[in-house]
Amino acid sequence: MAFGIYQLRRALPKPRPKILGVIVATTVLLIFFYTQLLTHEWTSELHQAFVLSRHIQNYSVLLQPRSCLAGGPITLLLALKSHSSHSDRREALRSTWAKEQIVDGQVVRRVFLLGLPGDDLIAQADSLDALVREESRQHGDILQWAFRESFFNVTLKELLFWRWFQEECSRLVLYVLKGDDDVFVDVRRILNFLKMHHDPTEPLYVGHRFVDSYPVRFWWNKYYIPPSMFSGVYPPYVGGGGYLLSRETIRLLLEASSVVPLFPIDDAYVGMCAQVANVSARHHRGFMPFEFLPSRHPCTYFGVLVLHSLKPKDLYLLWVFYRTQWYTCLGAVSNPNL
């Protein structure tokens, strides 16, 4: 016999007005506290220090890459944010997808963007500096500035890169892939995308786009932004893990940055400059469509342009798989996300 809604209603105790009152009052209180939380200005010394020092941007270049100093035109420059202590990741990238190469006549070059070891690594700073200098001597792919790495200095790195690029590279380079040092990129697909889908006279700013996203207002969160620093919604921006820019876009962003005060969240800052420069953020579903999980079959990711959050070991495995067994993915899996 079916247990119908009628029996169910009889089986449950009748809601009593008192309980209802308590529920309503609690809900109202919760909503009240939540809105308070979202609009409250939590004093944060870190944010105050940031606001007071963000105009200081004249950090000098300590190490320069070879890429734009010698040689001819570069189709794609891979500009990857890294840290002094991430030599394992840089090594993995150099020997896998981020190696310098020529694909069908298109030159691909690489540069790692570094500051000085942050306060958390101050004890090892000297040995790390020596290692980075040695890496730079060997590979010629390090661009390092004289500021200390910190969560709040990430945007500074972005801005200093634009400046360096404009001065040193913009005559030679057509496109830049900006990314983190834990991403996997299908460089061939990126080059194909550029050839097929981009009009070189138009600015390009494409990646995984976020629209109508709000600053984090929970003070315990790393990404917390006080209302006094930014109110409203962020302009459209693409995720900083991996995205594409044309050299014209970098010129426009750099120009716009003179009127946009530095902001702690680097990818949102790029969106703010893009809005001022009237460059639209384009979405492409091949950019970071989902988290990488080593437990999934490599074919799950076949066809993706940029994946993020890979350990060096997984990077090697995925790279080797795509080099040797990519054809097993054809027709075997149809990726519903692409």
Ligand X SMILES: *[C@@H]1O[C@H](CO)[C@@H](O)[C@H](O)[C@H]1NC(C)=O
Binders of ligand X among residues 259 to 278 (CB under 6 A) are: 278
Q: Are 234 and 215 in contact (CB under 8 A)?
A: yes
Positive/negative CA dihedral, 239, 215, 153, 151: negative
Smallest distance from ligand X to CB 59, Å: 6
| Interaction between residue 58 and ligand X (CB under 6 A) | yes
Smallest distance from ligand X to CB 308, Å: 24
| Interaction between residue 201 and ligand X (CB under 6 A) | no
CB neighbour burial string for 232-265, b if at least 16 within 10 angstroms, e if fewer: eebbbbbbbbbbbbbbbbbbbbbebbeebebbbb
Binders of ligand X among residues 149 to 168 (CB under 6 A) are: 150, 152-153
Minimum CB distance to ligand X smaller for 256 or for 288: 256
Smallest distance from ligand X to CB 278, Å: 4
Minimum CB distance to ligand X smaller for 50 or for 322: 50
Smallest distance from ligand X to CB 286, Å: 24
Task: Pick the binder of ligand X from 112, 147, 237, 302 (CB under 6 A).
Answer: 147
CA 280 to chain centre: 17
Minimum CB distance to ligand X smaller for 44 or for 150: 150
Minimum CB distance to ligand X smaller for 58 or for 324: 58
CB neighbour burial string for 133-160, b if at least 16 within 10 angstroms, e if fewer: eebbeebbbbbbbebbbeebbbbbbbbb
Q: Are 74 and 109 in contact (CB under 8 A)?
A: yes
Q: Which stretch in 11-19, 58-66, 130-138, 237-245 sits in contact with ligand X by CB under 6 A?
A: 58-66
Positive/negative CA dihedral, 131, 134, 136, 140: negative
CA 326 – CA 332 distance, rounded (Å): 11
| Interaction between residue 50 and ligand X (CB under 6 A) | yes
Q: Which residues bind ligand X (CB under 6 A)?
A: 49-50, 53, 58-60, 147-148, 150, 152-153, 278
